[in-house]
Chain A
Amino acid sequence: MTKLNREGLAQLREQARAGWQQRWHGKQAQIIIGMGTCGIAAGARKAWDAFADELKKNNLTEVRIEQTGCMGLCYSEPTVEVRVPDMPPIIYGKVDAEVARRIVRKHIVGKLLINDHIYDRPALDAFGKQG
Chain B
Amino acid sequence: MQAETKTELSPGLLEFIRQWKDKPGNLIMVLHRVQQEYRYVPRDVAFQVAALLEVPLAKIYGVITFYHLFKLKQPGRHVIAVCMGTACYLKGGEDLIRELETLIGAGVNTVSPDGEFSVEVVRCLGCCGLAPVLTIDGEVFGNLTKAQLPDVLAKYQGKQLAAATA
A-side residues, CB < 8 A to B, are: 37-38, 40-42, 74-75, 77
Q: Mind listing 23 A-B residue pairs with CB under 8 Å?
A: A37-B125, A37-B126, A37-B127, A37-B140, A38-B126, A38-B127, A38-B129, A38-B130, A40-B140, A41-B127, A41-B130, A41-B133, A41-B140, A41-B141, A41-B142, A42-B130, A74-B127, A74-B128, A74-B129, A74-B130, A75-B129, A77-B129, A77-B130
Kindly identify, within residues 87 to 131 of chain B, every residue whose CB is under 8 Å from any CB belonging to chain A: 125-130
**Chain A positions within 8 Å of B130 at CB level:** 38, 41-42, 74, 77
B-side residues, CB < 8 A to A, are: 125-130, 133, 140-142
Q: How far is the CA of A66 from the CA of B133 in the complex (A)?
A: 27
Contact across chains for A42 and B142 when beta carbons are under 8 A apart: yes
Q: How far is the CA of A38 from the CA of B128 in the complex (A)?
A: 8
Q: How far is the CB of A112 from chain B (nearest CB, A)?
A: 29
Q: How far is the CB of B47 from chain A (nearest CB, A)?
A: 36
**Chain A positions within 8 Å of B125 at CB level:** 37
Q: How far is the CA of A42 from the CA of B142 in the complex (A)?
A: 7
**Nearest 9 interchain pairs by C-beta:** A74-B129, A41-B140, A38-B127, A41-B127, A75-B129, A41-B142, A38-B129, A41-B130, A37-B126
Across the interface, name the chain A residue whose C-beta is closest to B139. Answer: A41
Q: How far is the CA of A42 from the CA of B141 in the complex (A)?
A: 8
Q: How far is the CB of B133 from chain A (nearest CB, A)?
A: 7
Across the interface, name the chain A residue whose C-beta is closest to B133. Answer: A41
Q: How far is the CA of A37 from the CA of B125 in the complex (A)?
A: 9
Q: How far is the CB of B84 from chain A (nearest CB, A)?
A: 17
**Chain A positions within 8 Å of B142 at CB level:** 41-42
**Chain B positions within 8 Å of A74 at CB level:** 127-130
Q: How far is the CA of A49 from the CA of B61 in the complex (A)?
A: 45
Q: How far is the CB of B42 from chain A (nearest CB, A)?
A: 30
Most buried by A among B128, B130, B133, B141: B130
